[in-house]
Structure 1
């Protein structure tokens, strides 16, 4: 059955949930753990008389159940609560910076990670301007300063970036990079070759070559994430704006994305066969 047909048949139930602040608050609150009626009063700022009919509604549909320590989500309630959280976080992410998302090529993000894009909700967009053309790169350097490890997906390379990474590698910080075939070829030639040759002697530095062009850029460390994309239309990488975050969910999203690209890439060689 088509999704629109399903909605037409069940829109009353869907609207009851999404139109009710209390129902959504109860489901989201229980997504964090069991709650007593007193807990739910505190979370929602509502009275027991207002909350109890919503609890009955959710119990009738087997989304929540009563236990000795309060109310808890059922397995199907956990699914619903999780999907509401995803919807909420994605909406917030796109609504905060609609111009950024509409002007960049969002389709470059692999589908599984696009579905989890709400994990980036707690983030900010940093843009360079005529008054401060170095905002983005300054954020990048600040991010790397205290990093215990660094994972990068790069669709471009510059001497400042290379020098900053070189300093961290020489200091013993593990660094792994996924680059395009074009960048790999640039690294095999001067002026980058001598730098890369020396850095590859460090066992904690590895480069991987992606099998296809990269239309995104990512740097994720143990405490910071930077994410960029190509501009819609030109598909040129936008070096003037990046998304930055220190949120745990955003870091986990970035690390999963890096692992995805690393797994489909081949290890770099200075002199390939």
Structure 2
């Protein structure tokens, strides 16, 4: 039984229509929820939990009734995403292509396999540097996918963060400000990671485009987020970009030293490929 099928069963057992079940569309829009029941759209964990609480459905009872195969598929998808991210940071396009073969060997549905392959294609596309090689059709497809969701939930934010390079800087600033405003008071560590990753990307893109004005809001937001062990990598990366911006503005040697220390931290934590990439970025923008 799928999540959509089980939700529908509970809704019918409570003699509720979709409008009542979704709290008049406040938790999740009725049109989107309708597609969840039909298994054509996925529901985020946050929205699902809110639905269950609102309709007095015990979490343990609900999840224990889900088919064990669903849990296995969720774990497979989570594992694939972790592999994609680590391979991307290793800047290895061939290994990213190999992940498609790995996806084919899973027992995911055809729809899930196609969705995971689309993400792999997105990661590969994001590695391209020559505009002549850009696959604009793929980029538009991923951008449409990100904002086909009715809300900027955790999954949508993560997807957006991964493919920010497909947007221009002004669009990224507008979207990022909206996300920060919506989640600035969140205690969810995953949300904090997403926000820091988005800010890191904003700073990198701003430096690359040589448009480092009007980005103080993002630096201040990152500084206001306390450094937790789970956030250290992102805070260190932002520390690098922030000091590079200061160096470009003031030519203070101490800021350049801070950049190099941040790179050494990345390399010493066994992320040499990414550290080398950041080092090349530093050399490019300090000439």
What's the TM-score, normalizing by structure 1? 0.28
Larger radius of gyration: 1
RCO higher in structure (CA 8 A, sep ≥6) = 1
Which is strand-richer, 1 or 2? 1
What's the TM-score, normalizing by structure 2? 0.27
